[in-house]
Amino acid sequence: MRVALILLFLLFPSVSFSSTVIMGSIGEPKRLIPMLSTDSASSDISSLIFNGLLKYDKNLNIVGDLAESFKIEDEGKRINFYLRKNILWQDGVEFTARDVFFTYKKLTDGTVATPYSGDFLLIKDVKILNKYIISVEYKVPFAPALPSWMMGIIPEHILKGKDLNTDIFNRHPIGTGPYKLLRWKAGQEIVLVANPLYFRDRPRIDKVIYRIIPDASTMLLELYTGHIDMMGLNPMQYIYEFKRKVREKFQVFITPSTGFTYVGFNLRVKLFSDERVRKAICYAIDREKIANTILLGYSDVYDCIYSPRSFAFQKKKIYSYDPEKARKLLREAGFSDNNKDGYLDKDGKRFEFTILTNQGNTDRNYAAIMIQQFLKSVGIKINIRILEWQAFLRLLESGSFDAVLLGWQLGVDPDEYALWHSSQVKGFNFVYFKDKEVDKLLKKGRETFNINKRKEIYERINEIIMDKVPYIVLYFPRGISVVHKRFKGIEQEKAGIMYNFIEWWVPKNEQMYR
């Protein structure tokens, strides 16, 4: 009977869906191969299609996923992964250690445009011991090794000999995960359906629809009218709109911050090559006022680059709002209002630059407007350019920007090699930050297992970066998610609400065909 149902699903994947969840997304994914999924929209969808060897449980403990278990040997220099048996790719082919080895080779061969390769370049050798055991040996002990193997594994039998950067697989993925791609209508929606071959319990939600709605206000209207079931709210929407309308129909989940919103300077731009200028801009911005005005108490302001979930997180406040100090630093850097027009200039050029941010995130849009006013008060003219997500990413990748207003969702481990190491300037280090001491410390932090020693290392990294100011960390926003009340089984834990998504369910009398 199970075989017959699986064959029916594979031949006619659009039949008989009993429960559907429609999620609102401001951005459209770019590429769904896990090692190429660098934006949140791509990562969210990719994570439902692919699995890593490991994952976090609800309490952020590392547990097996495709690997049933693992064993660390040789003082952290070797990890043996014992893979689950009888796992099938979504096309029915068996998953084996060869797929893990293939994924590793693609991450490190230099032809794949992935920002995640740094974690895997420290590997000395990978050996397939048998069909279900793979051994990974590192050149040196590597503390963040386990989280790195949460990277989604890709199928050798489909992608061998292919160019991952351009292959159609990016839009037609085949994974081992709980959901498989049914269709992708560019600019409109992405539809996933439950994978009947999934090695864990079959997801209880049959269909997942990601509707691409670039405007947050439009998305909220779609929530009210029942055209989407869940979305993230910004604090203004939550306090001034959501509470007064259809709140009784929804569950609200307010989660601690997992990252920060920041202004990042393109350090290749001459205007930002002077550290005093970057510090002056930081002093000129009242971050507390921005956070309280826009996020209405649902955020915190700290000068720290780590997730609040990390052991390296520090509740430090180094830069207070001080426009006089900002003006002093700008004078020291050679800027003055020679034209008497209210704006500073130097060498005949006005102090003017453009901040890029993405469409659909009203918090960032409002923050940009407030920053514009704060900087105007010290004689700096800024322009704001709001772009559709994919257009924004293209400028980011090409380095064609002055400054960006963006956010990071950060991992539990404080290793931020991909963000700050000088070798990563073609990847996530798109601000072109380079510092020899930080490079050395990042390497040392990866090779140190003692928590207290690692904490000292990452505290020093944070100290240097705060002093150099490649970023202005504006605030740590808390998450506000709403989900229709017909969805049951949702649990809010340290890992958030999506960690047990395959266990969500809808009572039969409330199920909707869509």
Domain 259-477, classified CATH 3.10.105.10, yes or no = yes
Cα 172 to the center of its chain, rounded Å: 22
* CATH fold for domain 186-256+479-510: D-Maltodextrin-Binding Protein; domain 2 (3.40.190)
The DSSP secondary structure of 307-372, one letter per residue, reads -TTSTT----------HHHHHHHHHHTT-B-TT-SSS-EETTEE-EEEEEEETT-HHHHHHHHHHH
Q: How far is CA 326 from CA 111, 267, 278, 381, in A?
A: 44, 19, 9, 14
Q: CB-side exposure of 138: number of CA atoms within 13 Å? A: 23
In terms of phi and psi (left: phi > 0; alpha: psi -120 to 50; beta: otherwise), the region of 432 is: left
Quote the pLDDT of residue 5.
38
Nearest CA-CA partner of 91 in 200, 169, 186, 206: 169
Quote the pLDDT of residue 514.
61
Quote the pLDDT of residue 338.
87
- Report d(CA 487, CA 294) in Å as an integer: 30
Q: Taking the domains of the chain in order of start, what are their residue ranges? A: 30-170, 186-256+479-510, 259-477
Question: What parts of the chain have a pLDDT lower than 50?
Answer: 1-17
Q: Are 425 and 434 contacting, i.e. CB atoms less than 8 angstroms apart?
A: yes
- Report d(CA 243, CA 419) in Å as an integer: 38
* Number of other CB atoms surrounding residue 106 within 10 Å: 22
The per-residue pLDDT for range 217-263, each reduced to its tens digit, is 899 999 999 999 999 998 988 988 887 666 789 999 998 888 999 99
The per-residue pLDDT for range 503-514, each reduced to its tens digit, is 999 998 888 766
Q: Are 213 and 188 contacting, i.e. CB atoms less than 8 angstroms apart?
A: no
Angle between helices 451-468 and 436-447 (to 10 degrees): 160
State in words which class domain 30-170 has: alpha beta
C-alpha torsion angle, residues 383, 385, 386, 389 (rounded to 10): -140
Does the pTM of the predicted model rise above 0.75?
A: yes
Quote the pLDDT of residue 17.
45
Residues with Cβ within 8 Å of 155's Cβ and at least 6 positions away in sequence, in order, are 89, 93, 95, 99, 102, 174, 175
The DSSP secondary structure of 283-299, one letter per residue, reads HHS-HHHHHHHHSTTSE
Quote the pLDDT of residue 13.
42
Burial 74-97 (b: 16+ CB within 10 A, else e): eebbbbbbbbbeebbbbeeeebbb
Angle between helices 362-376 and 275-284 (to 10 degrees): 110
Nearest CA-CA partner of 427 in 144, 145, 119, 46: 119
Interstrand relation of 352-358 and 403-409 (parallel, antiparallel or unpaired): parallel
State phi, psi for 411 to the nearest 5 degrees: -80, 175
Quote the pLDDT of residue 4.
38
Q: Are 364 and 262 contacting, i.e. CB atoms less than 8 angstroms apart?
A: no
- Report d(CA 446, CA 121) in Å as an integer: 12
